[in-house]
Amino acid sequence: MTSTGNSEPVIVWFRSDLRLSDHRPFVAAAASGRPLIACYVLDEQGPTTQWALGGASRWWLHHSLAALAASLEALGGRLVLRRGPALHALSALITETDACAVHCGASAEPHGMQTEKQISVELASRGGGLISHRGALLFQPEAIRNRKGDPFQVFTPYWKTLLRAPDPGLPLACPRSPVFYPGNVRSEALEALQLIPRAPDWSKGFKGLWMPGEQGARACVEEFLANRLSRYRNARDLPHAEATSGLSAHLRFGEISPREVWHILHNHLLQNPSTSSDAEAFLRQLGWREFSYYLLHYQPELPVTPFRASFAAFPWRRDPAALESWQNGQTGYPIVDAGMRQLWQTGWMHNRVRMVVASFLVKHLLIPWQDGARWFWDTLVDADLANNSAGWQWVAGCGADAAPYFRIFNPILQGKKFDKTGAYVYRWVPELSGLPLKYVHEPWHASSEILDAAGVCLGRDYPLPIVDHADARARALTAYREMGKKIPS
């Protein structure tokens, strides 16, 4: 419905919370009784500049905004799109409509918090107000501390403490009949935001694979509960098994809240107690998401600075050719190349394989973890600043609760252990589809006769390994010892 009164409107500023259910700002603004203006600002010029969305995330955002706009239209409203620094865009919108307040979801990222502070000060000077509502996380970082009152630096005690906390509150329902502002408010066309790649359109593989938006998130949860949860614990590390939830991008764009996921899982458990071990394993992964934001909260430089200060002395290498081979899935190690090609073609990579390819970059090639994190930021549809940064630091050995640096994944053994049938490699590295399983994870051990029969000429159809595993491992350990020598005593 639309407003017939003359009351000042309020703005609902959608950010990384592109949904209507369990949306605290939307619920609070609707409860005020004032007409609503729903707005999204594509801010690539303010404090967010350094972490402007990568290409794959922009593709997802386009479709998520389209879905949100459709949901608002079904309620009688519309989504106003603006671009530019959020402070300028919101100030202009307030001037145009005489809006008295802005409701938004509180950011859990440092640059988002900085933006909120700037906007809050500016609006206060003009007699308005910014009202931020927390809801991006299950628990606020300040609420989870160790016995000394200090932040945790290890996941397991953090998770045990979190589990002892009261359950997150119940999700909020979408307002049934919100009142929307009746005036004609200028809006950018979605296409004008230029979020979709055009020339070339490298996102062709995304279509039909993903369903961005709130409805897509709910369909994803339902499919996970019906077909995947019961085998999650045992199969989630198998990249070909499709046993993971598929929720990462939906959570990243706030198309479903973590609180909703938490309660959906607990309600499912009440009716299906046999899945308790699988549900607990999944909730633990939700806990890792929380822990990543927890770390980012207490170390805002996490995306660029090692959590463990000693790693500032690590002797990283600059090797553009090796980095490009890794990015293109041309390392000569099939499990690594399969993962990198899956990433490029679909905008996503299985979590186990993410660890394998990350370990290969930082330990086999000695290329800085920041370079890998940047590539993931640009190519993942679920690129999330906290999770991406914490994950890369964990693999590199410089993060909180990280695997020791000297734990170096053997890409051959990782392939054999988690891709026992070769299904994952056969799918994403079709050059090797004719090879017997015995050689699919180490094709260089196949005889010339076997390679000929498979139609594979190493070095032409598929690359030889760009580094020898044993040599690379020895080099990495030497570098680790060298770092210790550089640390002042």
Q: Give tens-digit pLDDT for 242-259.
A: 999 999 999 999 999 999
Nearest to 327, CA basis, from 372, 369, 363, 366: 372
**Residue 461: other Cβ atoms inside 10 A:** 13
Q: Report CA Rg, the chain.
A: 24
The token pair that represents 469 in the structure block: 């595993």
Q: Residue 201, class by beta-carbon neighbours within 10 Å (0-12 exposed, 13-18 middle, 19+ buried)?
A: exposed
- What is the H or E stretch that residue 353 is in? helix 351-359
Q: Three-state DSSP class for 133? A: strand
Q: Give tens-digit pLDDT for 441-485.
A: 999 999 999 999 999 999 999 999 999 999 999 999 999 998 877
Do the Cβ atoms of 82 and 40 come closer than 8 Å? yes
pLDDT per residue, tens digit, the chain (489 aa), is: 344 445 899 999 999 999 999 999 999 999 999 999 999 999 987 555 678 899 999 999 999 999 999 999 999 999 999 999 999 999 999 999 999 999 999 999 988 999 999 999 988 877 778 999 999 999 999 999 999 999 999 999 999 999 999 989 999 999 999 999 999 999 999 999 999 998 888 998 898 899 999 999 999 999 999 999 999 999 999 999 999 999 999 999 999 999 999 999 999 988 989 889 999 999 999 999 999 999 999 999 999 999 999 999 999 999 999 999 999 999 999 999 999 999 999 999 999 999 999 999 999 999 999 999 999 999 999 999 999 999 999 999 999 986 677 789 999 999 999 999 999 999 999 999 999 999 999 999 999 999 999 999 999 999 999 999 999 999 999 999 988 776 554
Nearest to 100, CA basis, from 124, 119, 82, 76: 124
d(C-alpha 310, C-alpha 482), whole Å: 12
The token pair that represents 218 in the structure block: 């709910």
Residue located via tokens 């046999």: 274
Angle 102-107-344 from CA coordinates, rounded to 5°: 120
d(C-alpha 151, C-alpha 295), whole Å: 9
Q: Is the dihedral of CA 83, 87, 90, 91 positive or negative?
A: negative
Domain ranges (residues) in the chain: 10-135, 137-170+214-298, 309-483
Q: Can you name the CATH fold of 10-135?
A: Rossmann fold (3.40.50)
- What is the H or E stretch that residue 264 is in? helix 258-271
Nearest to 303, CA basis, from 48, 59, 17, 116: 48
- Strands of the sheet with 101-105, listed across from one edge: 79-83, 36-42, 10-14, 101-105, 130-133
d(C-alpha 95, C-alpha 317), whole Å: 52
Separation in Å, CA 162 to CA 139, 150, 264, 291, 459: 8, 14, 18, 10, 51
Q: Residue 140, class by beta-carbon neighbours within 10 Å (0-12 exposed, 13-18 middle, 19+ buried)?
A: middle
Question: Residue 473: what residue type?
Answer: R
Domain 137-170+214-298 CATH class label: mainly alpha
Q: Give tens-digit pLDDT for 68-125.
A: 999 999 999 999 999 999 999 999 999 999 999 999 999 999 889 999 999 999 888 7
DSSP output for 81-124: EEES-HHHHHHHHHHHHT--EEEEEPPSSHHHHHHHHHHHHHHH
Q: Can you name the CATH fold of 309-483?
A: DNA Cyclobutane Dipyrimidine Photolyase, subunit A; domain 3 (1.10.579)
d(C-alpha 136, C-alpha 103), whole Å: 14
- What is the H or E stretch that residue 486 is in? helix 469-486
- What is the H or E stretch that residue 37 is in? strand 36-42
